[in-house]
């Protein structure tokens, strides 16, 4: 299958595998959010670096993304074939996949890359902190109320 040569876009080369669809969705979403067009190609190769390089060399924008079963790469046509610009050497999480989409698009747009999130995505830690705060406040409130009014704390402390 040959990519459409007429249209400038990022080429995503996908090696079919069970989680390929999910990864592809996030990568596409990242590019769409940044407003850069893409075309998806299927390939039998399973090495993401090779896939992404093939994409980059055929893309009119010079940017390719390779999605393999075990890894994920962004490649730029002017880089040496074995050295992709970004590479994720693990299955990764949806947030990480999304960031590959953002950054491939940002390479085209020429704006600074988004920092790569760690495996424990930052949203979740924020969320956990907030949750901790909420729980902390509730516990405080309950303790205060019982200390002020109902005398249960006092009674309890007496028994101690």
Partner 1 sequence: MAIVAGVDIGNSTTEVCLAAMESAKVTKFYTSSIVKTTGIKGTLANIPGIVIALEEALKKAGMTMADLSEIRLNEATPVIGDLAMETITETIITESTMIGHNPSTPGGVGLGVGQTVSFSQLESLTSGEKVICVIPENIDFEDAARVLNQALARGIDLQGVIVRQDDAVLIANRLQKIIPVVDEVTMIEKVPIGMLAAVEVAEPGQTIRTLSNPYGIATVFELSAGDTKMVVPIARALIGNRSAVVVRTPQGDVKARTIPAGFITIFGSKGKADIDVESGAGKIMETVERVQPVLDVQGEAGTHVSGMLERVRQVMSELTEQHLDDMKIQDILAVDTFVPQKVQGGLAGEFALENAVALAAMVKTSRLPMEQIANQLRSNLGVKVVIAGVEANMAIRGALTTPGTDKPLAILDMGGGSTDAAIITRDERVLSIHLAGAGDMVTMLINSELGLNDFDLAEDIKKYPLAKVESLYHIRLEDGTVRFYEQHLPPQVFSRVVILKDGEMVPIPSSHPLDKIRHVRREAKKRVFVTNAIRSLSRVAPTGNIRHIEFVVLVGGSAMDFEVGDMVTDALAEYSIVCGRGNIRGSEGSRNAVATGLVLSYLDREA
Task: State the minimum distance, in angstroms, from the CB of residue 141 to partner 1.
Answer: 18
| Residue choice 29, 40, 41, 81 for contact with partner 1 (CB under 8 A) | 29
**Measured distance CA(51)–CA(56) in Å, rounded:** 9
Q: How open is the CA angle 94-88-3, to the nearest 5 degrees?
A: 85
Interface characters, 50-89, with partner 1 (x: CB under 8 A): --------------------------x-xx-----xx---
Query: What sign has the CA pseudo-torsion 114, 120, 123, 129?
Result: negative
Sort residue 57 into left (φ over 0), alpha (ψ -120 to 50) or beta.
alpha
Annotate each residue in 102-121 with x if it binds partner 1 (CB under 8 A) or - if it does not, as one string.
x---xx--xxxx--------
Per rule CB under 8 A, count of chain residues that contact partner 1:
21
Q: Could you give the CA distance from residue 46 to residue 36 in angstroms, rounded to a whole number? A: 25
What does the binding site for partner 1 look like in residue numbers (CB under 8 A)?
Answer: 29, 32-35, 76, 78-79, 85-86, 102, 106-107, 110-113, 123, 126-127, 130
């Amino acid at each position: 299958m040959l990519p459409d040569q007429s249209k400038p876009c990022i080429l995503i080369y996908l090696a079919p595998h069970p989680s390929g669809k999910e990864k592809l969705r996030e990568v596409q979403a990242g590019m769409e959010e940044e407003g850069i067009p893409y075309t998806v190609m299927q390939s039998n190769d399973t090495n993401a670096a090779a896939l992404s390089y093939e994409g980059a060399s055929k893309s009119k924008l010079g940017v390719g993304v390779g999605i393999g079963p075990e890894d994920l790469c962004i490649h730029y046509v002017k880089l040496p074939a074995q050295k992709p610009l970004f590479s994720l050497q693990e299955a990764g999480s949806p947030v990480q996949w999304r960031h590959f989409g953002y950054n491939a698009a940002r390479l085209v747009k020429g704006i600074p890359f988004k920092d790569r999130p760690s495996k424990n995505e930052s949203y979740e830690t924020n969320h956990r902190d907030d949750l901790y705060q909420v729980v902390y406040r509730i516990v405080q409130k309950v303790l205060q109320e019982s200390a002020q009014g109902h005398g249960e704390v006092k009674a309890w402390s007496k028994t101690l």
